[in-house]
Structures are given as C-alpha cells and as structure tokens.
C-alpha cells in the first residue's frame, strides 16, 4: 500500500487479499474497516472511489487488515456489533451477537403488544443484546440480565447505559438461576451455549476468539437446556413463556427436554431465514 492508493483501488486489493485468506465476506469486511478508518458511512466509499488515501489513513487501515487476515472478526476488531438495528459494544468477554439470534428477539416481539408491561429474564445475557433489544422496542417492559461472567455483565451494563435503558434493566451475576432473586417473569429467554464437543473441534477461526463458556453446551450440546428446563419453572408465571435459541438439528431434542420436565408445553418452533429450526417457545402449565 502506498500514499497514492485511492479508496477504490484499496478496496479492490483488500477484497482479493481477504479472499485469498478464506474470509467469507471479503468485500463487505473491507468496506466496513475502511469506513471505520475514514469515519464515514459505507455509501461514502462508493461516491469517492478516486479519492486518495493519506499516509495516516493507510497506516491505520493496514493494521486493521492485518488483524482481519489473522481471522479476528470485524466485530472484535472494532469493538462493536450491529444487532436488531442497534450498535452494541463487544469484546473478548462476550459472545458476538449472531444474525440468527435476531429471530429469537423477533419471535418474542410478535407475542408482546407494543404497550405490554411484561417482565423479561434473560439467562446468559452476555453483551445484553437480546434483552436490551427487547426493552428498546417495548418501552413498558422491564428486565433482568443474568450471566456467570462479571466481565460480560460489565459490557452489558455499558450497552444498557448507551441505549438509555438503565432505569428498566438490572444485571445479576449468576450461574443460570442459582443466584437469581425469587420472582416471576412473563418471559424467560436464553441463547445458551449449544455447541457439541465435535463442533468445538471444528470452529471457524473467528469463533475461537469468543468465550468458550458461551459456546460449549456439553458433549451433545444440550446440557444447558436440561438445566434451564429443570430450574426455570419458579421464575415463569403461570401461562408465561420460555423461549430459547438452539443449533441446527437440536429443536426436537430441546422440545422433548422441556416438555418432559412436566412444567412446560411446546407452543411453537420457529425457523430462521436460512430454514433452520432456530427458536423454541414453551408456555408454562398450571
């Protein structure tokens, strides 16, 4: 890279370079990183293809490109991730929010009226993306986010402050329900760790930077569903709901685990936009 490189030439070079490294979205990643360096929206790049880069901009961009080529995700590099149209702070202490998890939020939204005054408990909240997205769209709702990691909750707390939701959300360090104060909620939601032992041996390089405890769900990937199904009942009001995300091919096993507990009936299974059964919703019985 030299000081004579233009925005367009730089994007073309970086796209080819990222492709050679096996990166899935080379052009998009190049644009996001360059937009970050220039402090501009991506649309700016298309309107200024012939604009030359300064030496300082090239130096900054080069450092980001090196990190991405080493398979650090764009979210980890920038410390931020978009989810449900909101920007969330992220770091190595939290799972980077995935697009498929938006289906969990959308599923709960559909059953919550805009003026609903529901209380929501988010188990394994991480960055707080699920809970805070729900509260942002449902201004009468309140929530509690729970995580075993104090460092993860520090990130969630900052995200709550940035979104102006601190007055409607609380955070609790807890191993699932172990330290959650007795109370009942309209909704318990969770995107628990659900990767199997085999999955963990075949992780994409980018995913290896996520916390292991936020990924590994035991040998068959179902350990956390068993624990949630066993312990959630006292926290869900009668006729309230529990909604969980699951991995490909796990939905039927998850459904069986919850219904076998005797406390929940299966309400529905929702597919994500890739056709994978991603969200399983249960209702608490009498």
User: From CA 71, how far away is CA 61, in angstroms rounded?
Assistant: 16
Q: Which of 221, 255, 241, 247 is nearest to 284 (CA)?
A: 241
Rg of the chain over Cα atoms, rounded to whole angstroms, equals: 21
Is residue 192 annotated as involved in ligand binding? yes
Is residue 193 annotated as involved in ligand binding? yes
Q: Which residues contact 221 (CB under 8 A, 6 or more apart)?
A: 193, 194, 195, 196, 199, 247, 250
Structure tokens at 1: 């890279």
Is residue 186 annotated as involved in ligand binding? no
Is residue 125 annotated as involved in ligand binding? yes
Is residue 191 annotated as involved in ligand binding? yes
Is residue 52 annotated as involved in ligand binding? no
Q: What is the DSSP string of 41-93?
A: -HHHHHHTTTPBPPHHHHHHHHHHHHHHHTT--HHHHHTEEEETTEEEE--TT
Phi and psi at 253, nearest 5°, equal: -65, -40
Is residue 194 annotated as involved in ligand binding? yes
Is residue 85 annotated as involved in ligand binding? no
Is residue 128 annotated as involved in ligand binding? yes
Is residue 160 annotated as involved in ligand binding? no
Residues making up the annotated binding site are: 124-128, 147, 191-194
Residues making up the annotated binding site for substrate are: 191-194
Residues making up the annotated binding site for S-adenosyl-L-methionine are: 124-128, 147, 191
């Amino acid at each position: 890279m030299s000081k004579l490189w233009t925005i367009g030439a730089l994007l073309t070079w970086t796209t080819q370079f990222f492709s050679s490294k096996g990166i899935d979205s080379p052009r998009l990643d190049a644009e996001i990183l360059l937009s970050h360096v220039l402090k501009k929206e991506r649309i700016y790049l298309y309107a200024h293809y012939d604009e030359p880069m300064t030496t300082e901009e090239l130096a900054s961009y080069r450092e980001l490109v090196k990190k991405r080529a080493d398979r650090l995700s764009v979210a980890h590099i920038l410390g931020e991730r978009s989810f449900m149209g909101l920007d969330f702070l992220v770091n190595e202490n939290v799972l980077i929010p995935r697009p498929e998890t938006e289906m969990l939020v959308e599923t709960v939204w559909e059953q919550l009226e805009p003026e609903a005054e529901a209380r929501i408990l988010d188990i394994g909240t991480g960055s707080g993306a699920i809970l805070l997205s729900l509260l942002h769209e449902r201004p009468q709702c309140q929530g509690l986010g729970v995580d075993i990691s104090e460092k993860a909750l520090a990130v969630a707390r900052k995200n709550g402050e940035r979104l102006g939701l601190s007055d409607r959300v609380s955070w609790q360090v807890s191993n699932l329900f172990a330290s959650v104060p007795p109370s009942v909620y309209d909704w318990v939601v969770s995107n628990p760790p659900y990767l199997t032992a085999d999955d963990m041996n075949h992780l994409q390089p980018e995913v290896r930077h996520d916390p292991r405890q936020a990924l590994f769900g035991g040998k068959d990937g179902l350990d956390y569903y068993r624990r949630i199904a066993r312990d959630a009942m006292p926290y869900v009001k009668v006729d309230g709901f529990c909604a969980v995300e699951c991995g490909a091919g796990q939905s039927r096993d998850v459904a069986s685990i919850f219904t076998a507990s005797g406390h929940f009936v299966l309400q529905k299974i929702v597919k994500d936009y890739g056709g994978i059964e991603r969200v399983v919703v249960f209702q608490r019985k009498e």
